[in-house]
Structure 1
Amino acid sequence: MSFHMILAAVAVSVSLVAPAAAHEVTLGSLTLTELWSRATPPNAPTAGGYLTITNTGDTADRLVAVSTAQAGKSEIHEMTVSDGVMTMRPLAEGVEVPANGTLVLAPGGFHLMFMKLQAPFVEGEEVPVTLTFEQAGSVDTFLHVMQIGARGPDGHAGHDDMKMDMSE
């Protein structure tokens, strides 16, 4: 096998294991990465969206709105657990992206919430979204749809963490 054939084979194998959510969007001093969502079962009424926002500017900004044609209603939410009780609430004022800092929207914390879905989110597809910031303005981008149960933008469901007692 020639060197070029080996190099091509390595390039293909690397591309197969690279995360599907590897796109980046820049809007002023903001950089958006790891934009993803989970696939939903048929007739699911809601879905979540996640991303990382890095602000290289000296002034804080604020994510104030999200929208998509694939949902009847879209909001920015926060999930918290206190004394074993999970609560989720919309953030009417949005969420701050600190100056020279990073905001992570992820399962179990801040996230995008899509309600009244028009159709299921399908693994491997992209959900178009518009994100609006107080200072930087709006940007049209998309969320990569990972498998149901994915824990992050690499698409893994985290089954390696599961422990089962099969003894009787």
Structure 2
Amino acid sequence: MARLIRDLATPANPAAPAPLNYREVGATGQDRLPAGYHHLHHTVRIGHGRDAFETAGAAVTTWRMHRSSGARVRGEATRAEPGAYVEVSLGVGPVRFTAPCEVIWTAYEKDRTGFAYGTRTGHPECGEESFVVDLHPDGSVWFTVTAFSRPAAWYTRLAGPLVPVLQHAYARRLGRTLQRVVAG
């Protein structure tokens, strides 16, 4: 297991600007999130049926959900794939926070689609965040954001307890954005 974690922590793209800045690589795909981090788990129903599931899954894995929520996304892949570098930025004008990340894992399954990205050096936080769409047996479609993070920059340490509040607000925003995308 230690070798797997070390291998996953090695950047897949040597041209990418910086390595991952945390050790618990892949933990959002496990049952328990690591200790020592703020944990986020937000789930929202976004629709019903196979079409809603496929629309939502495509929006999540092609960055459409992030872009439609107001984030800027720059990446080397048009669709989430392990090892792909992606940079997400939020803010207005010169007040913009840039977050370099790497896709850690993906799920392209019959009733589950999504991915997780981990933070790279230069990200205001360190940790991992996953975005997953599930189609339940009753036909309901659910979106879940799972994350663990802690401050990695002076300004996120200074913001203290405000950062988890903002992260949860962003997760709710992504859920509402995905509901709108599914509704058409």
TM-score after normalising by structure 1 = 0.27
Larger strand share, 1 or 2: 1
Structure with larger Rg: 1
